[in-house]
Structure 1
Amino acid sequence: MSHPTDFPGSHGNTCERKSMFKKKMYVAGLVVGLLVTTAACGGDDEKGADGKSLTKIVQVNADPGLGATTAFHSSVPEKLGYFKEEGLSVETRGVQGADAAAAMVQSGQADIVQAGGPAMVQFAGDKDDSLVAVYLNKSHSFRFVVPEDSDIKTAADLKGATIGVLAMAGPMIQYGKAVVSQGGLDPEKDVKFLPVGLGTQAAAAFEKGQIQAYAGADSFNSVIGQLTGQTMRVISVPSDTLPAFGGWLVRREMIEKNPEAIIGFIRATLKGLTFANANPEAAVKIHWERYPTSKAADGDKPEVLAQWAATIKERIDLAYLGKGPDGFYGTADEKDLAGSLQFQVDAGILPKMPDLKQLVDLEFAKQYNDFDESGPLDSAKNY
């Protein structure tokens, strides 16, 4: 198997720290999904197939409700034994916001987090407790939506509109402002942003006419559509397909102290990704069984299950199902990465072009890509 796409740096293996890819980005707040693992330590009584104690980790996701779009990196690899095959016992928690999740990793309360652009870079640096991206996503799942029957067709049509956001700080409003800017408008003068939360609050804001658009993530937007009984239409802009936007992050010291946990965790989620992409309905069922509070109130209806399966499929297609030019998941071309960052600078999402020397280290890409996809595909087919 060939080595991943090289950035300045040298090849290496798990024991020898010869970094294949090290880069650093300074961003300020978009998030696609968040994953965290607590300080790795031996499991109490849980044993792996080899009789050894499982390494216990905790992943924290930026979706506080742990919606079904988190299935491929939580419930699916847990249910199908992918985590256990890697010698891991994984607990999943939902928290409010990517910044909070990334801060947990930096403080040592957790060890790995999946964060997008700004939130990722906000916690990156040269210190031992700063974060390093060990995997890069294909893109992101932020989307700006309006009801299907809205007169708003393009970002330029947003002039005078009130746009709903989760809160007046954080990645959602930053992305919303970037979309408005791409329509040739001034996000500070030509539109108004209104914090309406998510779910029922956001749906009610649409129904009362308080907002005409919503800047959120795919899963949030799907819930709003379900609650309002309307199809939500995406206002497409160039930033929808920013490459290498976000990824799996760990503290710098974890690369030295517990590389096997990093490799095993990501490899297990890639197996989960393969399964969920092949059978998203099964992934939804597995997730709702594991996290019943995440199940939609009318989740027993076939059409609701189908809608959530479609949302999972969309999330995977938008943000995760893509390989670098070397054929590996989690890698990217340096030019694409730099272009993505420059776009964010130009759109005002980032304050300045970041230094790409420190943030990204894809030393382990070859190892976490070393799995047989036929296993998860067979499981998906026969589940």
Structure 2
Amino acid sequence: MKSTLRPSVAALVVSAVALALTACGGSSGGGSADKEITVAFAGAVNAPKEDVATYAVAKDQGFLDAKLKVKTINADGSSAAIQAVTSRSADITAADMGSILAAREKGVPIKAIGGLVQNWPWRIAVKPDSPIKTGADLKGKKIGVISLASGSAPYARAFAKDAGLDGQKDIDLLPVGIGTPAASALNSGKVDALALYTAPYASIENSGTKLRYLPNGAAFQGIRSLTFAAREDTIKKKKEELTLYLRAAYQGLLFSSVQPEGAMRIGFKTFPAMLSGQTVDQRLKGDTKVLTSFVDSATPAQGEPESFSNWGAIGDAEWQKTMAYTRAAGQITKDIPVSEIWDPSLLAGANQFDAAQVIAKAKAYAPA
């Protein structure tokens, strides 16, 4: 999810062609779309996370306006996704806030425009019988990260620092990816611990690997992770397009919080490669669990979907906590004025939808 800007835009993999989308509310959308937007997903392949909850569901359920033509591309991590936005290969991405802040400090004209993951999803995991009990026990250990350009690396370093260690010298970071490769690295002893987020852990546990999690310290509470971001000039030139996409994304997320299994079925229909040659029935239970873990990280920790509101908002206290964490992780050297990194001007329009209607639609969903 996070880190520096090393991955090249050449790492991007086009995952979908332009799609003419039907509007919510029954408009026909018979003519060609007159507005376009390209979305970069911060993952080399599509997975049961924001790809499904904010895009696949929005497309399938008609939350995307008929005037909008959408393309999607995949980028190998948040840094690559931000490079795609910077180079105009994409207009918007949901990237890790640490990567967004790091890019801004380096002079990239990018701003956050709407929150997504609001409950800190990163954890350190070990095998149940591991002698590692606390963060201090990680000294001299190997920690598996998704890649050195993902959010794993800065998180692992910040976790070590919070435990009183030197995040640069006292731990070794090894790229292990996610899913089966990460589980294999832990089970074989190639690494002593993993630094992943909740969705990949759910996938690993689905495969039969048991895990024990080290508790995050208080410093990790209130930190923002995946956040929608765009170039400053794109925000001005494509205000309507970005607003329409955010509105659809938040409706898709709300639908997914009510109907995760239905959302996962929609995900398989939109991104059939996620099935990896298996049937929907073979994948549905496990991948729904993975998707649910993502949705839980991106919706309020308290309350039911009927009470969810003010989608995308990020408060001042959250900004300060996030910047403090990003400094501790070594991604930025000083605080960045919030006005330089945050443009919430699209959120009023993004929140103009009937939540009750979305919830009713989710409850009534039945697979075709």
Does the pair score TM above 0.5?
Answer: yes
Summarize deviations over 1:209-242 as a string: whole Å, max 9, x none: 1112111232233333334x21333322135433
Summarize deviations over 1:107-134 as a string: whole Å, max 9, x none: 111111111122112333798x721211
Structure 1 residues 150, 252: CA separation in 2 closer, same or farther (over 3 Å shift)? same
Summarize deviations over 1:280-314 as a string: whole Å, max 9, x none: 11111111122121125656556x53332222222
- Is this contact kept in 1: 2:21–2:69, CA < 8 A? no
Alpha-carbon separation, structure 2, partners of 1:347 and 1:204: 27
2:297 is matched with 318
2:353 is matched with 371
- Is this contact kept in 1: 2:77–2:149, CA < 8 A? no
**Where in structure 2 are there 5+ consecutive unaligned residues?**
6-11, 303-307
1:76 is matched with 57
Say if 2:264 is the partner of 1:270. no
Structure 1 residues 111, 276: CA separation in 2 closer, same or farther (over 3 Å shift)? same
Structure 1 residues 259, 132: CA separation in 2 closer, same or farther (over 3 Å shift)? same
Task: Spell out structure 1 runs of 4+ moving beyond 6 A.
Answer: 42-48
1:192 is matched with 172
AA aligned opposite 2:110: L
Alpha-carbon separation, structure 2, partners of 1:372 and 1:46: 17
1:285-304 equivalent positions in 2, closer than 5 A: 285-295=265-275, 300=280, 304=283
- SS of aligned partner of 2:72: strand
- Is this contact kept in 2: 1:148–1:230, CA < 8 A? no
AA aligned opposite 1:141: P
Please point out which of 94, 97, 102 is paired with 2:82.
Answer: 102
- Is this contact kept in 1: 2:136–2:164, CA < 8 A? yes
Structure 1 residues 365, 314: CA separation in 2 closer, same or farther (over 3 Å shift)? same
Alpha-carbon separation, structure 2, partners of 1:333 and 1:46: 34
Please point out which of 219, 238, 248 is paired with 1:258.
Answer: 238
Please point out which of 312, 327, 345 is paired with 2:327.
Answer: 345
- SS of aligned partner of 1:375: helix
2:9 is matched with none
Please point out which of 207, 211, 214 is paired with 2:187.
Answer: 207
1:16 is matched with none
Summarize deviations over 1:24-69 as a string: whole Å, max 9, x none: xxx9559xxxxx9x9xxx9889996365532232212112121011
1:130 is matched with 109
Say if 2:79 is the partner of 1:92. no
Alpha-carbon separation, structure 2, partners of 1:198 and 1:45: 32
AA aligned opposite 1:100: A
Note the C-alpha offset of 1:347.
4.7
- Is this contact kept in 2: 1:28–1:350, CA < 8 A? no
AA aligned opposite 1:377: I
- Is this contact kept in 2: 1:86–1:268, CA < 8 A? no
AA aligned opposite 1:80: Q
351-360 vs 217-226, which deviates more?
Answer: 217-226
- Is this contact kept in 1: 2:3–2:78, CA < 8 A? no
1:235 is matched with 214
1:174 is matched with 154
- SS of aligned partner of 2:73: strand
Note the C-alpha offset of 1:349.
4.2
Say if 2:214 is the partner of 1:248. no
AA aligned opposite 1:333: G
Structure 1 residues 43, 165: CA separation in 2 closer, same or farther (over 3 Å shift)? closer
Note the C-alpha offset of 1:361.
1.0
166-175 vs 57-66, which deviates more?
Answer: 166-175
1:157 is matched with 137
Structure 1 residues 176, 298: CA separation in 2 closer, same or farther (over 3 Å shift)? farther
Higher relative contact order (CA 8 A, sep 6+): 1
Structure 1 residues 338, 144: CA separation in 2 closer, same or farther (over 3 Å shift)? same
- Is this contact kept in 1: 2:140–2:170, CA < 8 A? yes
AA aligned opposite 2:272: P
Please point out which of 100, 108, 111 is paired with 1:120.
Answer: 100
**Where in structure 1 are there 5+ consecutive unaligned residues?**
1-26, 31-35
Structure 1 residues 96, 187: CA separation in 2 closer, same or farther (over 3 Å shift)? same
AA aligned opposite 2:320: A
Alpha-carbon separation, structure 1, partners of 2:124 and 2:58: 30
Note the C-alpha offset of 1:178.
0.9
| TM-score scaled by length of structure 1 | 0.79
- Is this contact kept in 1: 2:39–2:90, CA < 8 A? yes
Structure 1 residues 256, 58: CA separation in 2 closer, same or farther (over 3 Å shift)? closer
Alpha-carbon separation, structure 1, partners of 2:210 and 2:354: 38
Note the C-alpha offset of 1:88.
1.8
- SS of aligned partner of 1:93: strand
